[in-house]
């Protein structure tokens, strides 16, 4: 029973990724390359969105400079 679960959970794989850092990923394996390219691409888009929201907020705060909205 447990041997079947080991295969299901991929415990018996000989190559695994030791960490999520880009220099530890075996990029020669196409499945790793596709997955981590998608992960880092999504993280880049999210990070750029957060940075743009911060910059837009700072710019609006400087532009209003003491004006209140009620």
For the cut 90, the answer to whether the pLDDT of residue 34 exceeds it is no
- Can you list the alpha helix ranges (DSSP code H) found in 1-70? 2-8, 30-64
Looking from the CA of 28 toward its CB, the CA atoms found within 13 Å total 2
User: What's the pLDDT at 38?
Assistant: 92
pTM of the predicted structure, to 2 decimals: 0.58
User: What's the pLDDT at 69?
Assistant: 62
For the cut 70, the answer to whether the pLDDT of residue 11 exceeds it is no
User: What's the pLDDT at 41?
Assistant: 95
For 32, residues 6+ apart whose C-beta sits below 8 A from its C-beta are 17, 25, 26
């Amino acid at each position: 029973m447990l041997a079947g679960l080991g295969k299901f959970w991929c415990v018996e794989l000989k190559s695994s990724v030791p960490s999520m850092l880009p220099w530890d990923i075996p990029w020669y394996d196409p499945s790793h390359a596709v997955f981590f390219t998608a992960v880092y691409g999504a993280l880049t888009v999210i990070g750029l969105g957060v940075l743009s929201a911060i910059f837009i907020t700072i710019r609006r705060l400087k532009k209003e400079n003491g004006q209140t909205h009620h």
